[in-house]
Each structure stands twice: as structure tokens, then as C-alpha cells.
Amino acid sequence: MAGLDTTQAMKDFVTDTGVGTFPNLADEAGDIWKKFETTQPSVYVILDKDGKTVFTGSLPAGKGLADEVSPLVG
């Protein structure tokens, strides 16, 4: 996951949403956002291990994020 914010904000998000079982990073420069053409923070793009997009959409306040990711990290 790439959060467009500071490292501390990303750590807080991981703690609050319980998504610490997969890689997370603070995308302070916005490079990941630009690569996937993300235009707003409520848009999630979830990729599988092969880089295929398996989910794109809104998960307000991260609700449901763990449910979307869990099947991918087994």
C-alpha cells in the first residue's frame, strides 16, 4: 500500500486498519500515485503477486481493506 502522506501517518493508518501483514509505504513524493494514476486518497488499487489489478475502488477510511487483501496474502 502506498499512502500519500508522512511515514508516521502511514504507520497510524496501518495500526488503525489492521493491515500490517503486507507491505506498506509512505509515498511522500507521490511516485506510486502517479504510476497508477490515483487521483484521490479514497481510491485503492490492489495488485496480486503477479502485478494484476484485482481491486480498484473506494474503501472509506480503509473499511474493508483487510477483507480485500487477506485472500492475497494467505
pLDDT in tens, 7-42: 888 888 888 877 777 777 778 888 888 888 877 666
Q: Grid coordinates standing for 34? A: 502517479
- What would the DSSP string read from start to end of the chain? -EESS-HHHHHHHHHHHT-TTS--EE-TT-HHHHHTT--STTEEEEE-TTS-EEEEEE-GGGTTHHHHHHHHH-
Rg (CA), the chain: 12
pLDDT in tens, 40-63: 666 788 898 899 999 988 887 778
64-70 average pLDDT score: 85
Global model pTM greater than 0.85: no
The DSSP 8-state label assigned to residue 72 in this structure reads H
